[in-house]
Amino acid sequence: MATKKKKGTAKKKELPIILVVNDDGITAPGIMNLVEAVKGLGRIVVVAPDKPQSGMGHAITIGYPLRLQRVHVMEGIETWSCSGTPVDCVKLAVDKVLHRKPDICISGINHGANHSINVIYSGTMSAAIEASIENIPSAGFSLLDYSLEADFTGARKYARMIVETMLSKKADKHLCLNVNIPTGDVDLIKGVKVCKQAYAKYEEEFEERKDPSGKKYFWLTGEFLNLEKSKETDVWALKNNYVSIVPVQYDLTNYAIKKKIEKDYTW
Amino acid sequence: MATKKKKGTAKKKELPIILVVNDDGITAPGIMNLVEAVKGLGRIVVVAPDKPQSGMGHAITIGYPLRLQRVHVMEGIETWSCSGTPVDCVKLAVDKVLHRKPDICISGINHGANHSINVIYSGTMSAAIEASIENIPSAGFSLLDYSLEADFTGARKYARMIVETMLSKKADKHLCLNVNIPTGDVDLIKGVKVCKQAYAKYEEEFEERKDPSGKKYFWLTGEFLNLEKSKETDVWALKNNYVSIVPVQYDLTNYAIKKKIEKDYTW
């Protein structure tokens, strides 16, 4: 009797469009796993960089032209390779591939963590943030394993669950989730925890070397330091084998300091 | 009699170290003007990209080595050219040039606006944000004029005033200011206004062209749309000939949405 009560439900429901992007590049196992994770939930379209773009943050390509090419790397999935950054991929996907906004944009699955301050350097998360600026609900997924041979079983399970929830809830258009998933046995993951971004950062040191002609060069390296012990943070959640979800914003205004300097400073 | 009251003031006071960075590159007039603006306020050290890095956001160089070279482009000023991004410049300056944290980091003066959502794409502002992550008070300065021949008189005046204020106040270590300066006659600038980041963005369209071999490529282009009419925003302030100052944060947690999804979502 449901068809009588709900007018129009007999009609073929239009599938939501799921835009899939990443920063590790179109051939990374992580993006294949993300596509696998959301199969059946909508019309999947992949637009991803043609080369690794880790650490590209919110970079966009200015002053250089971009290339976009249809490729066939995933059976039965519309897939495009882009010469630009992760953020360029989102912009190009909307304007030149989909010719409309997708219903959701998902990014990843990143090979390696994007918790705490990493969110700000991450191409994976910047692509998701770009979507949310454009009124497209989004989520970036990262697995705490840098290896190309990582086991994505747990990441796939939670990515699917989170995307299903977002689609069923008609998520806020500016919703952007930073999801990190612990490694190891999926059955040992305790569930999902909504968190704040930990105040944790890298104590950087550049390793100094000499090239064959004797000229100095530097490699970025460093030690990760968690400076916040609160149980509210993503770092705490991950250490305790939860999937961490941090809702992320693109309004960078520091309202607390704004109030303070309006009162204390004279210019 | 002041020397008697304040113990130790007779000693030579150590000059504050002012790190100057930018995203337009070491030879841009904007950075020369910023150095000019703060002369006499401290020991100035410049570390800037060896080429334009506009729109690089918070990108860092991963997987490639970096070069750092002493150059002589500004009379009497210690100047270094770096092969990386604006954020790389800040990291390298601390670890390999200064071997300590500077007292303040200033970035710019950018050739072109960095108000509203531009803050997130801006290499100028990302360098300043990187400093604030590292407990270095910082400010990014941008002039609303893209031209290389822009008149920086007003920008210099306000940059100096703001840096003087920050140094005299012993600014909060995480203080990061996004300062935009109107163009035109400096005497017509009405003063400084502390603002929030406007919800304004670009309606993007990529211009499609063909290369000599007939293959498609795309140029990023678009129209700027201000979607927020409030008088609290940086866009409003600039339109009304104020210098806009938006305090910026690196904690991207969206606490309002965090509360909502903790209540409404089940995973």
Q: What is the pLDDT of residue B215?
A: 94
Task: State the average pLDDT over residues A8-35.
Answer: 88
Q: What is the DSSP string of A216-229?
A: EEEEEEEEEEE---
Cβ of B175 within 8 Å of Cβ of A257? The answer is: yes
How many Cβ atoms from other residues are within 10 Å of residue B6's Cβ?
Answer: 9
Q: Which residue has the tokens 């043609």?
A: A50
Q: What is the pLDDT of residue B171?
A: 76
Q: What is the pLDDT of residue A91?
A: 97
Does position A216 have pLDDT exceeding 50, yes or no? yes
Q: What is the pLDDT of residue B11?
A: 57
**Token pair belonging to A244:** 């961490």
A15 CA: distance to closest CA in chain B (Å): 22
User: Which ranges of chain A does DSSP label H, i.e. alpha helix?
Assistant: 2-5, 29-38, 86-92, 118-121, 123-133, 153-168, 234-239, 255-264
Read off the amino acid at residue B28. A
Cα gap A206→A204, rounded to integer Å: 7
Radius of gyration of chain B (CA): 20
Cβ of B121 within 8 Å of Cβ of A59? The answer is: yes
Which CATH superfamily includes the segment(s) A15-197+231-264? Survival protein SurE-like phosphatase/nucleotidase (3.40.1210.10)
User: What is each CA distance from B75 to B32, B72, B106, B153, B157, in whole angstroms?
Assistant: 10, 7, 19, 20, 21
Task: State the average pLDDT over residues A70-86.
Answer: 96
B78 CA: distance to closest CA in chain A (Å): 19
Cα gap A202→B187, rounded to integer Å: 44
**Contact at 8 Å (CB) between B238 and B113?**
yes
Task: State the average pLDDT over residues A186-213.
Answer: 93
Pick out chain B residues at pLDDT < 70. Answer: 1-12
Q: Tell me: cis bond preceding A162? Omega within 30 of 0 counts.
A: no
* Count of CB pairs separated by less than 8 Å, A with B: 227
Q: Taking CA atoms, what residue in A is nearest to B200?
A: A133
Query: What is the largest distance, in Å, between two alpha-carbon atoms of chain B?
Result: 81
Output DSSP code: residue A242: P
pLDDT digits (tens, 9 = 90+) for A31-48: 999 999 999 999 999 999
Q: What is the pLDDT of residue A2?
A: 42
Q: What is the pLDDT of residue B8?
A: 46
Domains in chain A: boundaries: 15-197+231-264
- Could you give the angle at the alpha carbon of B255 between the alpha carbons of A30 and A168, nearest 5°? 55
Q: What is the pLDDT of residue A11?
A: 56
